Amino acid sequence: MIGGASRGGATIGAAYALRNRDAQRLADYGLSLAEFDSLSPRARISRLVTLMIGDDGHPDDRAIRQAATEQVKKIVRTEGEPPTATEAIKGFVSAYIFQLGLVELQDQIINGTLDGNEAVVRERMLRGWIDAKVRSLDIDASPALSANALHQAAADLAQRAVRVLRAR
């Protein structure tokens, strides 16, 4: 899970570089501004997430992609101010943990240890509870941080969030 959070943090850093048209910072992630310039806004988001996260051949990979895509959309949209890097990292980690929780709920339904109605109740409670716990954790991140620092910030926050969630 920590590796997934790290990849998500790097994806967020690359999204800020793309929004700011920072060719050098994109190059730090192994990406080219020219490649993105030739794509539609929707295709840019998809391409960025695919290049940074990879394909979603496993449910955990799908969880990373969904959580990262949610934040990348908020960052690269052209209207309005993007979320701060801290908000984006927290939003990603919260969404990632939630998506992993959904994978677990689906497994329990398939295995017959949880019925669909109870799963719906747990899903509704899970999102708000995770958001509140993750948002209460301190993190220092900015889009200007190096590629290594942003992915490390996401990994550290995910690790702390998991400890808090397990303590409950």
> Can you tell me the mean pLDDT for 38-44?
94
Query: What are the tens digits of pLDDT across the range 124-157?
Result: 888 888 888 777 767 766 555 555 566 566 667 6
pTM of the complete model: 0.78
CB 91 within 8 A of CB 71: yes
* Token pair in block for residue 67: 């959580």
Mean pLDDT of the chain: 82
Distance CA 101, CA 108 (A): 11
Query: What are the tens digits of pLDDT across the range 2-18?
Result: 567 778 888 999 999 99
* Token pair in block for residue 44: 């840019």
Higher pLDDT, 161 or 136: 136
pLDDT of 167 reads 47
CB 161 within 8 A of CB 93: yes
CB 94 within 8 A of CB 57: no
Radius of gyration over alpha carbons of the chain, in Å?
A: 16
* Token pair in block for residue 31: 């990406």
Closest by CA position to 21, among listed 7, 36, 6: 36
pLDDT of 61 reads 82
> Can you tell me the mean pLDDT for 86-103?
85
The structural domains of the chain, with segments of one domain joined by +, span 2-167
* 67 pLDDT above the threshold of 50: yes
